[in-house]
Amino acid sequence: MHQNHAHVVIAIATFRRPRLLSSLLDAIDALDVRESLRVLVCDNDAAEQAGRKVVDERMASGFRFPVDCVIEPEQGISFARNALFTFVREQLECSYLALIDDDESPSKQWLTELLKVARATGADVVGGPVRSVFEADNVDPAVAACGQFRRKRRLEGPVPVILSTENVFLKRAALEMVQPPWFDHVFAVTGGEDADLFYRLKWAGAKFAWADSAEVSETVPADRSTRAWVHKRSFRRGSNTAWRALRRPHKLKSLSRILALGVGALVTFPLFWLLSIGSPVARLDAQLRVFRALGYFAGLGQLRIAEYRKIAGT
């Protein structure tokens, strides 16, 4: 058997978050999993290489699983994730690939649940929920409970599509269903590269499923737990959605839907605002729909937010 063979490869892109990466590796070390496992880290900071230093320290202290680390000098989330996929394709043998962010921590049964659903459904891509854990003690309760941070619940089983790589599990064969680069470089600093990939996989015939028990927790730093930040995030998501629609093969249908959603959110906002009197969470959710709608129109005008130029967390 190939010495770099593992049933599952856990792939992590990291950029100047050594403390959070170390916590993630702690959680991976504690996973309840029987299958052979390998960890792959891409450090997207060729200058400081804080991620590589964490990996080297773990390997020296006797980490439970084999770990590989690659350096991607071109900064941007698309470049880092493409480096992960390229290394898997060229250097490793595996059946599945699990992606998790460097500010997250998986539950002990995380991989077991993802594998269970993947095998039961035959899905090419399986997604799971993310629970937000706030670092700040005085987070606005409405922000903590708003749509941005609420844990998404779905019935376990097939779903139309998965839109995020923050907790996702892919068949290794899915990498061959679309041409590289898998993550489009135009999304390198704006985000949205994951949804773009998954829609291309969907058009290529990929099947998707949801594993509701495969939970990971996400560390939310203080500067991301404010009303201003969730407003901006909703705007960015709307902008990226519209930007992706402009690039789709059947873009007229997508653009018509986006325009309808945007106009609908703006027109119905006063009604939702009145109906949500006495509910700060519902009122904030109504605001987020408006910001997302404004993002739709901004994206149609090709205005985008370079969110990933700023480093969050440590």
Q: What is the CATH number of the domain that holds 190?
A: 3.90.550.10
- 63 and 186, same structural domain? yes
Range of the domain at 272: 227-309
Residue 63 in domain: yes
Q: Are the CB atoms for 298 and 235 separated by under 8 Å?
A: yes
Domain boundary among 178, 198, 224: 224
- 110 and 22, same structural domain? yes
Residue 86 to residue 90: CA distance in whole angstroms: 6
- 182 and 158, same structural domain? yes
Q: Would you state the pLDDT for residue 191?
A: 87
- The number of domains in the chain is 2
Q: Are the CB atoms for 70 and 50 separated by under 8 Å?
A: no
- 18 and 104, same structural domain? yes
Domain boundary among 174, 203, 224: 224
- 167 and 36, same structural domain? yes
- 291 and 218, same structural domain? no
Task: Output the average pLDDT for the chain.
Answer: 93
Residue 3 in domain: no
Pick from 38-42, 157-161, 207-211, 310-314: least confident: 310-314
Q: Band of the pLDDT at 235, cuts 50, 70, 90?
A: very high
Environment class of residue 249 by beta-carbon count within 10 Å: exposed (0-12), middle (13-18) or buried (19+)?
A: exposed
Q: Is 262 helix (H, G, I), strand (E, B) or coil?
A: helix
Residues 182-205 have pLDDT tens digits of 999 989 988 889 999 999 999 999
Residue with tokens 């770099």: 4
Residue with tokens 């599945």: 96
Residue 151 in domain: yes
Residue 1 in domain: no
Q: Would you state the pLDDT for residue 248?
A: 73
Residues 245-284 have pLDDT tens digits of 887 777 767 788 888 999 999 999 999 999 999 999 999 9
- 275 and 196, same structural domain? no
Q: Are the CB atoms for 235 and 294 separated by under 8 Å?
A: yes
Residue 72 in domain: yes
Residue 2 in domain: no
- 205 and 161, same structural domain? yes
- 109 and 252, same structural domain? no
Instruction: Classify 278 in phi/psi space as left (phi over 0), alpha (psi -120 to 50) or beta.
Output: left
Residue 123 to residue 314: CA distance in whole angstroms: 35
Q: Would you state the pLDDT for residue 1?
A: 36
- 201 and 259, same structural domain? no
Residue 292 in domain: yes
Residue 303 to residue 291: CA distance in whole angstroms: 14
Cα angle at 12 between 44 and 191, to 5 degrees? 65
Q: Would you state the pLDDT for residue 2?
A: 45
Tell if the pTM clears 0.85, that is, is over it.
Answer: yes
- 244 and 205, same structural domain? no
- 231 and 220, same structural domain? no
State yes or no: pLDDT of 3 exceeds 70: no
Residue 158 in domain: yes
State yes or no: pLDDT of 304 exceeds 90: no
Domain boundary among 177, 206, 224: 224
